[in-house]
């Protein structure tokens, strides 16, 4: 909760579309909440592996690749940890709960995206 009152937030996005939409999926919503409201500046460091042609492709990438791999990384007890595939479970440890698609912000220059020319994260 203190993150919402921070001057800066540094994070990444699950995906970014060719036209600049930020597509994210969170378990509790704390990361996307801070992207949307709170910190004075948001800096998102995004690897080329997260670039998708459109929102539909971005959502598919997040749901069927990034979320299962991240769930394995943080050792949650979900079906995708066992299979590596999203089964749209309702597990108590599910990390796929809250979608956000950010197309812009009313506060000019609040969100900065740093696109890095290599693969970073999931």
Note the pLDDT tens digit of each residue in 6-43.
Answer: 999 999 999 999 999 999 999 999 999 999 999 999 99
Looking at residues 78-84, what average pLDDT do you find? 90
* Structural domain for 75, as ranges: 2-116
DSSP at 66: I
DSSP of 15-47: EEETT--EEEEESSSHHHHHHHSSSSEEEEEEE
Is 122 part of any domain?
no
Above pLDDT 70, what percent of the chain?
100
Place of tokens 């921070």: 6
pLDDT score of 16: 99
Is 105 part of any domain?
yes
What's the CA gap between 5 and 30, in Å, rounded?
12
């Amino acid at each position: 909760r203190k993150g919402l009152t921070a001057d800066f937030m540094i994070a990444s996005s699950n995906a970014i579309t060719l036209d600049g939409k930020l597509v994210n999926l969170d378990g509790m919503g704390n990361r996307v909440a801070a992207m949307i409201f709170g910190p004075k500046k948001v800096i998102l460091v995004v690897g080329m592996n997260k670039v998708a042609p459109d929102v539909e492709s971005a959502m598919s990438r997040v749901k069927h690749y990034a979320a299962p791999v991240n769930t394995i990384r943080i050792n949650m007890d979900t079906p995708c940890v066992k299979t590596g595939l999203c089964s749209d479970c309702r597990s108590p440890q599910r990390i796929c709960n809250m979608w956000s698609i950010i197309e812009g912000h009313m506060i000019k220059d609040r969100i900065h995206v740093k696109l890095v020319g290599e693969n970073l994260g999931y």
